Amino acid sequence: MDSKVLTAHVPLPLAKKVDELAARLDRPRGWVVKQALTDWVEQEEERYRLTKMALSDVDEDRVVSHARMRAWAASLDTSEPLTVPQP
């Protein structure tokens, strides 16, 4: 796989933690950084995908009003909770 060197300035306490983690895992610092960056990018891509889905639901008026959600949440502490509101 081709690769590219990226340079980033990180606070010294964070760099120290990366070094400690690399030593504990017996892995190079670059491996730790690559793992962390890979996980973060995947998380951000998923967050973006879910945001786009949510905005599509709003555009299509597939939403539940705040009042209905509050009523449902308030009912959870009662002996007869409401069913989960549906759009």
Count helices and strands in the chain by DSSP H and E runs: 3, 0
**What pLDDT is attached to residue 4?**
95
Please give the pLDDT value at position 34: 97
pTM, 2 dp: 0.74
Give 1's pLDDT tier (boundaries 50, 70, 90): confident
**pLDDT tens for residues 26-83?**
999 999 999 999 999 999 999 999 999 999 999 999 999 999 999 999 999 999 999 9
Phi, psi of 82 (to 5 degrees): -70, 160
- Rounded CA-CA distance 20/5 in Å is 22
Residue ranges per structural domain of the chain: 12-75
Distance separating alpha carbons of residues 77 and 73, to the nearest angstrom: 8
